């Protein structure tokens, strides 16, 4: 599509620059928000749970604590990728060791160089989304938890416990979603993405699931075991160890 020379590439308002002043300011602000939130996000992403992972077959066992806050972990990864992409777009002598903070800062000072790119509207959309997610992750709403992403519009879905208990939620894009479907998808793309055999003691599994917005008490897991609904896959220092996926299946078995 030909650009009309007198309009902003992002909002379409009249502008003698590729980006109008409000849009240019907004992009610079969002990039600055990302840069200033990154250190705290990294800290949040580095919190680990003690859930153990076991490799397939051979009985070989590797213990690799996995991130407690998968949302933060994923977001840091996404922002790093985004910063690297901006660095390459701006030919910023990009190298692997240049921290994202430096790349974001440099980009925020070179808005005119980004403004005439064909994909500037998309870049602005991504910067806005990550900036919003970074704020939500660092100062989560007290009464809500992130249950997963909307499959249609990829928005993060933050729900109250009441909404979660209601089993169905409506995304702002209009999509009606079953809470457990969203949670299951989130669990698969985050906590279990690298190893579906992720397992841990009742308290470790409970902690991991809670960090992913799924509430199940340690005692409930023990009761399932006592009733024969859930079978431990092993033992760790005398405590039963369960597969996270098996516990999830117990949670949703009646829904
Ligand atoms: Zn504009
Ligand atoms: Zn949606």
204, two tokens: 């470790």
Q: What is the average pLDDT score of the chain? A: 85
For residues 209 and 130, state if they share a domain: no
Q: Is residue 109 part of a domain?
A: yes
Domain count, the chain: 2
Ligand nearest to the CA of 21: 1
Q: Encode pLDDT of 162-183 as tens digits.
A: 888 888 999 999 999 999 999 8
Burial class (CB in 10 A: 0-12, 13-18, 19+), 199: buried
Last residue in a domain, options 139, 166, 186: 139
Q: What are the phi and psi torsion angles at 62 (to 5°)?
A: -120, 135
pTM over cut 0.75: no
Ligand nearest to the CA of 150: 2
- Structural domain harbouring 216: 199-251
* Confidence category of residue 125, pLDDT binned at 50, 70, 90: very high
29, two tokens: 């602000």
Q: Is residue 85 part of a domain?
A: yes
Measured CA to CA in angstroms, residue 23 lies from 14, 82, 90, 106 at distances of: 12, 19, 19, 18
For residues 127 and 210, state if they share a domain: no
Ligand nearest to the CA of 153: 2
Task: In the chain, count H helices and then E strands.
Answer: 10, 9
**Distance from the alpha carbon of residue 133 to the mean position of ligand 1, in angstroms:** 22
**Distance from the alpha carbon of residue 26 to the mean position of ligand 1, in angstroms:** 9
What residues pack around ion ligand 1 (CB closer than 5 A)? Answer: 8, 10-11, 20, 23
Q: Produce one character per residue of 146-165: b if its CB has 16 or more CB atoms within 10 Å, e if not.
A: bbbbbeeeeebbbbeeebbe
Give the pLDDT of residue 194.
62
**Distance from the alpha carbon of residue 173 to the mean position of ligand 2, in angstroms:** 4
Strand locations in 11-108 (E): 53-54, 61-62
Ligand nearest to the CA of 115: 1
The pairing of strands 176-178 and 168-170 is antiparallel
Q: Is residue 156 part of a domain?
A: no
Give the pLDDT of residue 58.
44
Ligand nearest to the CA of 156: 2
Q: Encode pLDDT of 196-252 as tens digits.
A: 677 888 988 888 888 777 889 999 999 999 999 999 988 878 889 898 889 999 998
Burial class (CB in 10 A: 0-12, 13-18, 19+), 209: buried
Q: Is residue 193 part of a domain?
A: no
For residues 24 and 133, state if they share a domain: yes
**Distance from the alpha carbon of residue 183 to the mean position of ligand 2, in angstroms:** 14
The pairing of strands 144-149 and 199-201 is unpaired
**Distance from the alpha carbon of residue 132 to the mean position of ligand 2, in angstroms:** 16
**Distance from the alpha carbon of residue 150 to the mean position of ligand 1, in angstroms:** 27
Ligand nearest to the CA of 172: 2
């Amino acid at each position: 599509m030909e650009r009309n020379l007198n309009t902003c590439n992002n909002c379409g308002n009249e502008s003698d620059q590729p980006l109008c002043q409000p849009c240019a300011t907004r992009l610079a602000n969002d990039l600055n928000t990302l840069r200033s939130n990154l250190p705290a996000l990294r800290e949040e992403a580095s919190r680990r749970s003690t859930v153990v992972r076991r490799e397939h077959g051979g009985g070989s066992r590797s213990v690799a604590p996995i991130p407690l806050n998968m949302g933060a972990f994923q977001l840091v990864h996404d922002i790093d990728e985004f910063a690297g992409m901006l660095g390459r777009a701006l030919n910023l002598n990009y190298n692997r060791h240049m921290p994202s903070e430096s790349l974001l800062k440099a980009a925020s000072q070179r808005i005119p160089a980004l403004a005439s790119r064909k994909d500037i509207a998309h870049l602005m959309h991504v910067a806005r989304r990550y900036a919003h997610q970074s704020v939500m992750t660092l100062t989560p709403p007290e009464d809500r938890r992130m249950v997963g992403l909307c499959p249609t519009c990829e928005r993060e879905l933050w729900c109250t416990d009441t909404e979660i208990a209601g089993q169905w939620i409506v995304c702002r894009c209009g999509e009606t979603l079953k809470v457990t479907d969203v949670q299951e998808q989130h669990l698969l793309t985050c906590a279990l993405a690298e190893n579906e055999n992720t397992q841990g003691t009742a308290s470790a599994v409970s902690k991991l699931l809670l960090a992913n917005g799924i509430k199940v008490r340690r005692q409930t897991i023990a009761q399932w075991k006592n009733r024969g609904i859930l079978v431990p896959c092993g033992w760790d220092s005398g405590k039963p160890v369960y597969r996270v996926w098996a516990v999830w299946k117990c949670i949703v078995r009646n829904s």
